[in-house]
Structure 1
Amino acid sequence: MAAPATGETPRALPTRAYVDVAQLLLQRLRTAEFPPGSRLPAERQLAEELGVSRPTIREALAALELMGVVDTHVGAGTFVREIPPDDPARPSAATSPDASPSEVLQVRLLVEPSAARLAARNWDRQSLAAIQRPVRQLERAAEAGSDEHPTKEDRQFHTAITAAAGNTVLDTLLGPLWAMMSQSLWRNLKERGWTAAHTAQVAAEHREIFEAIRSRDVELAGFMMEKHIRGVITDLFRDVG
């Protein structure tokens, strides 16, 4: 067996795409091209100019919003605020530890439909009740016309399904995803423009998934979960202006 190579420079980990884009946009914001109060081009236009996906643009703008250099208003667009002078000590998009929400959702789309299928096959009375509780809580919130993102109920629902699947390895794999969905960038995106109609829609989709699991319809459970997550992706990266 060959001896391990020595003196090699370790490969640097790739930066998140949205971080690179946020830095490029920040450089443009520091020029006269976009003075304070001006409206940035539409996300589709920025994506074409920079050769990246629209989700990457959305994440980059969300990172800049967390830095306080832009404001995004659903239905109106993204506007430049007063840009502070460049300060190395100031937190920037480049130092953000947040995972890319679009990448998290890609993993969820790969894994959670399978978790729902396993839950439909393997649930017992206790694990089924754990899935049902947040469904009922969310339905009550929808009936009350809540326009707050149901973060608690949503997380309880999805983690209960994973637990009902009865696979400890799957449970361990998905655990870090829930932590990533508590990060600032994710919260900024998911809470933006949330309405009572969104609460009602998610409540209905959770009910559909639950009923498929309860009926032990393995394929329908997977299908409904995939449909739900694809809807989250569409909604999270919908046009804002």
Structure 2
Amino acid sequence: MTCWRDCFEESSMRVSDQVAQQVLQLIQQQHIKVGQALPAERKLCEQLGVSRASLREAIQQLTSQGIIRSKVGAGHYVQQLPSHWSNDQVLQPLSQLIDTDPNYRFDVQEARIALEGATAWHAAQRASTADIAKIKYYYSQMQHFQSLGDDDQSAQADANFHLAIAEASHNIVLIQMMRGVFDLLQFNVLLGRRKLYSETYRFDRLQEQHSQVLDAIERRDPEAARQAVCGHIEFVVQQVRCIDEEDARRQRASRLNRTSL
């Protein structure tokens, strides 16, 4: 795991990545709202203690993610806040809906197939060395936390793995869409893991599927990447349906046994 972390930090956590995180922290700490301007570049450089070149590269990165919008001669403005800052009052009902309504849960998976099939396809064509290192890092994190039995952290790494693929597509609209549903994705992944990762057979299959997605992107095979990620999500849907049906059968049998006593 350490070598993956080193690879990720050396090739992906560039100065611009660190500066981008500093800018996000500044937006959060100063409560800068959507539509409001960031401080001027010169002031930002002084506040963050960074060079103008590093700041501009970080701003470009946040612009590609749809978080910042730049106006020529007028500065930089917050266009949308990162998805993990979303309002809990909005997320909570959605989380409850996923947890209690199987049809909604499967609708989320269906939407993922459409969205992530496209992001994986483009990622296989456009992913940089840093992008691939980032995807590998989260893949290793999934394995690490799963081996520790930490479902929540493993689910977080799983969701980040899929988000990193979307970012590797370098398609601003797809990235915005993926970030917009990130909290929903993470909750959906956690629920799926609670059902599927309890059995070694399913765990091995899911790990193999994640590996196939990564391999296809590394090989620059767009169609293989699309098929791998879609096949992975379809497998989850199929297995969850089987588990739900088996649970329903057990509950019916239990009720029948109680009424026959």
What range is the shorter-chain TM-score in? Answer: 0.5 to 0.7
Q: Which amino acid aligns with 1:179?
A: D
Distance in 2 between residues matched to 1:203 and 1:129, nearest whole Å: 18
| 1:156-206 alpha-carbon deviations (Å, 9 max, x no partner) | 1100000000011111112232212345x8755641363152333222111
Equivalent residue for 1:126, pick from 130, 133, 141: 130
Shift of 1:233: 0.8
Q: Which amino acid aligns with 2:127?
A: W
The structure where helix makes up a greater share of residues is 2
- What secondary structure is seen at the aligned counterpart in 1 of 2:181? helix
Partner of 2:34: none
Mapping for residues 13-24 of structure 1, pairs under 5 Å: none
Shift of 1:148: 3.5
Shift of 1:128: 0.8
Mapping for residues 28-177 of structure 1, pairs under 5 Å: 96-97=93-94, 98=97, 100-141=104-145, 144=147, 146=149, 148=151, 150-177=154-181
Q: Which amino acid aligns with 2:118?
A: S
Partner of 1:231: 235
Q: In 2 relative to 1, CA 182–216 (structure 1 residues): closer, same or farther, beyond 3 Å?
A: closer
Question: Does 2:197 match 1:204?
Answer: no
* Runs of 5+ consecutive residues of structure 1 not aligned to the other structure: 1-94
Equivalent residue for 2:198, pick from 195, 198, 214: 195
Q: Is the 8 A contact 1:145 1:196 kept in 2?
A: no
Q: Is the 8 A contact 1:115 1:162 kept in 2?
A: yes
Aligned residues: 145
Q: Is the 8 A contact 2:120 2:169 kept in 1?
A: yes
Shift of 1:140: 3.9
Partner of 1:217: 221
Question: Does 2:243 match 1:240?
Answer: no
Distance in 2 between residues matched to 1:159 and 1:136, nearest whole Å: 15
Distance in 2 between residues matched to 1:216 and 1:148, nearest whole Å: 31
- What secondary structure is seen at the aligned counterpart in 2 of 1:240? helix
Cα RMSD for the two superposed structures: 2.6
Q: Is the 8 A contact 1:101 1:181 kept in 2?
A: no
Distance in 2 between residues matched to 1:194 and 1:147, nearest whole Å: 11
* Runs of 5+ consecutive residues of structure 2 not aligned to the other structure: 1-91, 99-103, 248-261
Partner of 2:43: none
Q: Percent identity?
A: 20
Q: Which amino acid aligns with 1:104?
A: V
